[in-house]
């Protein structure tokens, strides 16, 4: 299992709107591209202010790359990506985590 995690610095006071767009984006991916993906959207509690994080669990990077190619050709998803871009600042992180153990 691999977890992909991306953080998005939101424009001031826009983190809830950004989180909602990322939730909609993740739901579209889940419905239209890959129902096997598990996703999570987080807003900051303690840490970098105005930051939203998105995570998705995938079985392999190959499956992610296939899904990513399908997303790039999906006008509904790309419309949400544009809206996300309008609410975020530059920067953020993109991490790939390999599951080592789970209880």
pLDDT score for 36 = 85
Per-residue pLDDT of the chain (103 residues; tens, 9 = 90+): 999 999 999 999 999 999 999 999 999 998 988 888 899 999 998 888 899 999 999 999 999 999 999 999 999 999 999 999 999 999 999 999 999 998 9
φ, ψ (nearest 5 deg) of residue 5: -135, 125
Radius of gyration, alpha carbons of the chain: 14
Look up residue 26 and give its two tokens.
């993740």
pLDDT at 34: 86
Boundaries of every domain in the chain: 24-84
Q: Report the mean per-residue pLDDT for the chain.
A: 93
Nearest to 67 by CA among 77, 54, 80: 77
Q: What is the model's pLDDT at position 88?
A: 95
């Amino acid at each position: 299992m691999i977890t992909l995690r991306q953080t998005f610095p939101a424009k001031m006071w826009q983190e809830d709107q950004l989180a909602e767009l990322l939730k909609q984006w993740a739901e579209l991916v889940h419905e239209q591209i890959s129902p096997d993906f598990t996703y999570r959207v987080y807003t900051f509690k303690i840490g970098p202010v105005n930051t939203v994080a998105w995570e998705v669990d995938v079985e392999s990077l190959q499956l992610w790359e296939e899904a990513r190619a399908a997303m790039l050709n999906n006008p509904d998803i790309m419309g949400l990506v544009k809206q996300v871009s309008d609410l975020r600042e530059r920067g953020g992180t993109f991490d790939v985590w390999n599951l080592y153990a789970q209880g």
